[in-house]
């Protein structure tokens, strides 16, 4: 449950269709979020995308940084960093970094994704747990959401309520299916204005944190950007909300409702 909580708080996400084809995002895209626990501001997150190099090849580098602020930072300091280096043509990750600092807890791990050696699967090499074999076209937790934005949503002209979209990822050295259920279209009030959004509920496991399978919600803009602008999750101790406060470098103008 802890890893799912991390995903929902600090995730929001990316993909790339090819050098000459239009995409829903571009290098230079940056999104800024604030995390609230009820009326209290508890943290902030940034999600950035830019060109970089990995072992001599040009890649797209996505970096997600989430940290506590204010009183939350004084009580329990958190700085979590996730990085994904993605092939700009296939949209698949080639290298990922997970760097976690939560109170006294520390964890650092690097994973190499080999999509070429085997025609039927992905070879994953983790610094912490060694070599694993996953299904063909395996994503990491960041690349999966870019893929969701760029390949899945634009291809679905009509979304049916209750429809579930699944993307298999490799996260915390485990196979981790991300399953998003489409709920409806609705307007969301943000710092930059009201925006028409597509609402999805990640299918969660009930237990220590969640009472029902629909206690987490994502809102993606219903324009050409499919930008994640809000996340809300309800747990036994209350509700947390992650809200976009600003953005830069979008591929298309954000459609604000006047």
Query: pTM for the full model?
Result: 0.87
- What are 135-192's pLDDT values in tens digits? 999 999 999 999 999 988 887 767 899 999 999 999 999 998 989 999 999 999 999 9
Q: Mean pLDDT of successive 10-residue segments in the chain (258 residues)?
A: 48 36 83 92 96 95 96 92 94 96 96 97 98 96 92 81 93 91 95 95 65 78 95 75 96 92
Cα distance between residue 64 and residue 127, in whole Å:
20
Asked whether 151 and 91 are in contact (CB, 8 A), the reply is yes
Q: What is the pLDDT of residue 159?
A: 87
H runs (alpha helix) in 11-150: 70-75, 143-147
Q: What is the pLDDT of residue 210?
A: 54
Which structure tokens are listed for 257?
């409702």
Fold of 2-245: YmcC-like fold (2.40.360)
Domain coordinates in residue numbering, the chain: 2-245
Terminal CA-CA length for the chain: 39
d(CA 50, CA 93): 14
pLDDT at 14: 33
3-state secondary structure of 228: strand
CA-closest candidate to residue 25, choices 151, 194, 156, 186: 151
């Amino acid at each position: 449950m802890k890893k799912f909580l991390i995903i929902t708080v600090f995730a929001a996400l990316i993909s790339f269709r090819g050098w000459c084809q239009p995409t829903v995002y571009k290098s230079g895209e940056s999104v800024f979020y604030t995390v609230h626990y009820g009326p209290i501001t508890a943290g902030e997150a940034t999600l950035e995308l830019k060109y970089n190099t990995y072992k001599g090849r040009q890649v797209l580098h996505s970096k997600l940084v989430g940290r506590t602020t204010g009183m939350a930072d004084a009580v329990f300091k958190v700085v979590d960093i996730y990085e994904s280096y993605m092939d700009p043509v296939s949209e698949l990750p080639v290298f990922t970094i997970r760097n976690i600092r939560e109170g006294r807890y520390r964890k650092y791990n690097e994973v190499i994704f080999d999509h070429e050696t085997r025609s039927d699967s992905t070879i994953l090499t983790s610094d912490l747990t060694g070599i694993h074999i996953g299904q063909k076209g395996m994503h990491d937790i960041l690349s999966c959401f870019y893929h969701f934005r760029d390949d899945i949503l634009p291809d679905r002209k009509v979304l049916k309520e209750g429809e579930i979209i699944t993307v298999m990822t490799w996260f915390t050295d485990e196979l981790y299916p991300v399953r998003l259920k489409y709920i409806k279209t609705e307007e969301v009030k943000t710092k930059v204005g009201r925006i028409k959004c597509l609402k999805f509920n990640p299918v969660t496991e009930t237990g220590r944190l969640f009472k029902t399978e629909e206690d987490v919600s994502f809102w993606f803009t219903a324009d050409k950007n499919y930008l994640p602008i809000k996340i809300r999750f309800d747990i036994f101790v209350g509700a947390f909300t992650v809200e976009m406060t600003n953005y830069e470098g979008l591929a298309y103008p954000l459609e604000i409702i006047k």
